[in-house]
Each structure stands twice: as structure tokens, then as C-alpha cells.
């Protein structure tokens, strides 16, 4: 089989799959109508903020199945992992349409859909990166971009469905459609052969002077100090956006005074710039380096959080500038980190390694919304905290350079003594 040509079909199928599972980030569109539905059903007043725990859990549990599914992917291939993950993801959405309490939503959307997403997301990205050793940054950006652009496409579609049929039917319809698409697309995904080199591409000469094997499994990865620096960097890099995204619509209404329609447009705007950031940063990182790209994203995130901090009632322009910058920065981290992890620890075990690295994203996905709701109580002061996390991320990019250089020097020293 000519995998140099087949890899493009694998990439296209992976993009279709990620387009479906990225609908998780349309949660804020479902949150309001679902809160109203449960309020009417149970007679207990609920708001979108009361349901934020559902998204927090869905966003936090992904690494569990990314790691487990990654091991199966590396051993047997991605077809079975994506198929089962698709059933879980779509099935969780369908069951959410039958939910009659917040607890039921946590089980269906928070756990089942979230765990299904982790299985699928880890496989599509890691497998695609293995097929494209010559374009890791670009492919990481494109595959994660389709995941992100779902937040642009799905909210208006979901809003129309919800307005016509109700929130519960919206879950059922979208869940059923996505189950079919993901599970069908799984059959077009092949496992990348070990050591695959595309036609016409010559691997660059390694700068690993020690001659030590660069492909590390998860145990060896956890023994390296640079892993923990990268994990914290991912947490800090994703914090500002993950604090904002699940509550984007209600925040736009509360802080700026936007109408429900305009607030939905704000959700789509941050998602659109998120997508732009993934492709742009992924491609740029192939040229200027991953860590330089991430450092730039941290600087921009500080600026974007600053715009949101000074925005107020009716200040739509400042608000939109802020969310656009935050979207680009979040996309940069999501697009660059899959290739960054493969560069650092090798592509062979990247499905599991990136799943573990993704814990940093899950931490940000839990801490960010929690701070916004409980500590800052959905006020501008939350963005000062976001600026602090982004500044910490910038510092970590410099720490990474020092730790990575020190690790390489030690490896060279050990090899010379042998």
C-alpha cells in the first residue's frame, strides 16, 4: 500500500471526525436552554453557571481515555479506538437529551461524552502526526483546527434546532448524526507503520549528539524534568481561554450587556480565531520552532486578557479584540503541543505520551471555569488572574530552554564516558 498517498485520506477522515467531536465546545449554547428546561421540570431555579460543572467534567476527563485509548492505538491501531469512542461521544449526547437533572447531565455529557472525546481526539491527532513527520506542526494545527472550528459551525445550527424542537431534541439529533459520521469515518483510518518515511522526504540529521534513543515511552518521559515544565506550560497556556470559553455567552451578556444573539456570535468569534491560531501557529512553529511560537502566544495572551479586563458595559470593540486575541493564543497551544510532544519524546509512543501531557489541558479546563464562577464570580477581575497565568507561561518557556539544554548536555556527558 502506498501510504505516502493514503496518508492524505487518513488526514481528511481525521479532520471530519474532529469536526464532530469539537462540538463539545458549543456547550454554552446548550447551557441556557437546558437550564430553563431543568428549571421547569424540577421547579428549582437553575442558571447556565449552575450547569458549568457539566462542561468542566467533560473537559477534564479526556486524558483518562486519551491515555488508555492511546495504548490501544499504538498497539492495535486507531480504528477500534475511534469507533468505540464515537459510540461513547454520540451516545452521551443522545442520553443528555433524556436527562432530567444536573446529575444525569454529568453522567451523560460530562462523563460519557467527555471520555468518548478523549479516546477519539488522542488517536486522530497522534496518528496523523505519525503519518506526517515532514509536517508535524502543520498537521497538528489542521487536525486540531477542525476540532476548534466545530465551535463556529455547530452553535448556530444547534441554536436553530433548539429553537424549533427544544434543548433535549437538540442533544438527540446532533448526537445521532455525529455518531454515524465518527463511526463511519473510523474505517478510513489506518495505523501508521513504524518508521514510516513519506516519498520524496529525507529525515533531517538528528542533533542528538549523545546517540541515545529519542523515542521514549511514558515511563521514561515522566523521568525527564522537561516533561513537567511542558505540562505546566500547557496548563498556563490554556488557562485564559478555558476560563472564558464555557461561559462566553453568559459573560458577554453580563459584562458587556449583549443580547442572546450577539452573545452567541461572541462564542463563534472566539472559536473562529481559535481555529485560525491552530493552523497559523502550527505552520509557523515548523519554521521558527515550537517554544518560540508558544512564548509569543503567552505574550499575546497577556495583552488579550488586558483588553477583556478593561472592557465594560457596551464596550463591544474592546471585548471583541480581547476574545479574538485569546482565541488565537489558545489555538496556538492546541495546534503546537501535539507536534511539540512528538519532537521532544518521539513519535512512536506519542498517542500515550500526548494523552498524559493533555492532563495539563484538563487541569486548566477545571481550574479556569472554577475561578471564574467561584472566585471572581464572573467579573472582570478574573482576567487579572488570567494575565498572571499567561505571564507564568512565558517564564516557563525560558525555564524549558534551560532545562532542555541541561538535559541534553547531561546525556552527551554520559555517552562520552561510556
pLDDT tier at 206, thresholds 50, 70, 90: low
Determine which helix (DSSP H) or strand (DSSP E) holds 411, and give its type and residue range: helix 382-417
Cβ distance 143 to 337 under 8 Å?
no
pLDDT tier at 146, thresholds 50, 70, 90: confident
pLDDT of 25 over the 50 cut: yes
Cα separations in angstroms, 378 against 49, 244, 255, 256, 374: 9, 9, 8, 12, 8
Helix 136-165, helix 114-131: angle, nearest 10: 150
Share of the chain above pLDDT 90, in %: 43
Angle, CA of 356, 299 and 272, to the nearest 5°? 70
pLDDT at position 245 = 77
* 326 vs 155 pLDDT, higher one: 326
Helix 136-165, helix 260-288: angle, nearest 10: 170
Nearest CA among 186, 173, 190 for reference residue 86: 186
DSSP for residue 22: G
Summarised one tens digit per residue, pLDDT across range 173-198 is: 999 999 999 999 999 999 888 888 88
pLDDT of 377 over the 80 cut: no
Nearest CA among 125, 114, 65 for reference residue 92: 114
Which ranges constitute the DSSP H helices of 22-101?
27-42, 52-60, 62-76, 78-96
pLDDT at position 407 = 75
Give exposure, 311-326, as e/b (b: 16+ Cβ within 10 Å).
Answer: beeebeebbbbbbbbb
| Rounded Cα gap, residues 295 and 304, in angstroms | 14
Cβ distance 108 to 24 under 8 Å?
no
Domains in the chain (CATH in brackets) are 3-193+216-412 (1.20.1250.20)
pLDDT at position 411 = 52
pLDDT at position 210 = 41
Cβ distance 301 to 393 under 8 Å?
yes
Cβ distance 382 to 256 under 8 Å?
no
Q: Write the burial class of residue 199 (CB in 10 Å: 0-12 exposed, 13-18 middle, 19+ buried).
A: exposed
Share of the chain above pLDDT 70, in %: 95
DSSP for residue 26: G
| Rounded Cα gap, residues 26 and 120, in angstroms | 18
Q: Where do we find the cell 488572574? A: 385
- Give the mean model confidence (pLDDT) for residues 268-286: 87
pLDDT at position 325 = 95
pLDDT at position 417 = 52
- Give the mean model confidence (pLDDT) for residues 273-285: 89
Which three cell numbers mark 56?
Answer: 468542566
pLDDT of 153 over the 90 cut: no
pLDDT at position 211 = 42
**DSSP letter for each residue of 170-191:** HHHHHHHHHHHHHHHHGGGPPP
- The 10 Å Cβ neighbour count of residue 271 is 27
- Give the mean model confidence (pLDDT) for residues 84-88: 95
- Give the mean model confidence (pLDDT) for residues 247-253: 80
Positive/negative CA dihedral, 276, 281, 286, 287: positive
Winning range, highest mean pLDDT, from 122-126, 138-142, 176-180, 214-218: 176-180
Q: What's this model's pTM, rounded to 2 decimal places? A: 0.76
Summarised one tens digit per residue, pLDDT across range 387-414 is: 999 999 999 999 999 999 887 765 545 4
Length of the chain: 418
Cβ distance 131 to 11 under 8 Å?
yes
SS3 101: coil
- Give the mean model confidence (pLDDT) for residues 293-311: 95
- Give the mean model confidence (pLDDT) for residues 39-53: 88
Ramachandran angles phi, psi of 202, nearest 5°: -110, 120
Amino acid at each position: 500500500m502506498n501510504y505516502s498517498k493514503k496518508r492524505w485520506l487518513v488526514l481528511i477522515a481525521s479532520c471530519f471526525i474532529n469536526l464532530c467531536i469539537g462540538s463539545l465546545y458549543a456547550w454554552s449554547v446548550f447551557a441556557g436552554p437546558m437550564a430553563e428546561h431543568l428549571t421547569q421540570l424540577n421547579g428549582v431555579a437553575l442558571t447556565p453557571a449552575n450547569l458549568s460543572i457539566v462542561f468542566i467534567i467533560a473537559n477534564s476527563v479526556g486524558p483518562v481515555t486519551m491515555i488508555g485509548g492511546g495504548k490501544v492505538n499504538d498497539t492495535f491501531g486507531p480504528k477500534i479506538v475511534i469507533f468505540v469512542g464515537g459510540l461513547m461521544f454520540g451516545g452521551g449526547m443522545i442520553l443528555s437529551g433524556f436527562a432530567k437533572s444536573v446529575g444525569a447531565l454529568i453522567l451523560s455529557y460530562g462523563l460519557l461524552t467527555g471520555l468518548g472525546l478523549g479516546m477519539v481526539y488522542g488517536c486522530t491527532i497522534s496518528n496523523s502526526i505519525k503519518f506526517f513527520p515532514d509536517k508535524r506542526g502543520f498537521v497538528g494545527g489542521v487536525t486540531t483546527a477542525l476540532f476548534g472550528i466545530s465551535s463556529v459551525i455547530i452553535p448556530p445550527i444547534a441554536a436553530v434546532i433548539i429553537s424549533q424542537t427544544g434543548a433535549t431534541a437538540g442533544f438527540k439529533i446532533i448526537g445521532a448524526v455525529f455518531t454515524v459520521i465518527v463511526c463511519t469515518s473510523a474505517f478510513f483510518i489506518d495505523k501508521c507503520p513504524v518508521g514510516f518515511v513519506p516519498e520524496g522526504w529525507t529525515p533531517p540529521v538528528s542533533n542528538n549528539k549523545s546517540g541515545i534513543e529519542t523515542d521514549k515511552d511514558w515511563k521514561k518521559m515522566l523521568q525527564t524534568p522537561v516533561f513537567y515544565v511542558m505540562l505546566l506550560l500547557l496548563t498556563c497556556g490554556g488557562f485564559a481561554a478555558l476560563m472564558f470559553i464555557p461561559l462566553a455567552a453568559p459573560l458577554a451578556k453580563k459584562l458587556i450587556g449583549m443580547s442572546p444573539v450577539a452573545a452567541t456570535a461572541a462564542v463563534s468569534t472566539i472559536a473562529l480565531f481559535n481555529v485560525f491560531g491552530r493552523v497559523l501557529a502550527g505552520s509557523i512553529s515548523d519554521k521558527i520552532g515550537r517554544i518560540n511560537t508558544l512564548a509569543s502566544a503567552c505574550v499575546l495572551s497577556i495583552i488579550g486578557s488586558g483588553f477583556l479586563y478593561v472592557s465594560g458595559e457596551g464596550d463591544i470593540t474592546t471585548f471583541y479584540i480581547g476574545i479574538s486575541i485569546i482565541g488565537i493564543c489558545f489555538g496556538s497551544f492546541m495546534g503546537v503541543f501535539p507536534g511539540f510532544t512528538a519532537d521532544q519524546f518521539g513519535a512512536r509512543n506519542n498517542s500515550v505520551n500526548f494523552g498524559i501531557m493533555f492532563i495539563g489541558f484538563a487541569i486548566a479546563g477545571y481550574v479556569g471555569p472554577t475561578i471564574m464562577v467561584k472566585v471572581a464570580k464572573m467579573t472582570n477581575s478574573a482576567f487579572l488572574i488570567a494575565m498572571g497565568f499567561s505571564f507564568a507561561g512565558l517564564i516557563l518557556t525560558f525555564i524549558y530552554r534551560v532545562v532542555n539544554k541541561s538535559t541534553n548536555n547531561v546525556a552527551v556527558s554520559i555517552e562520552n564516558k561510556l
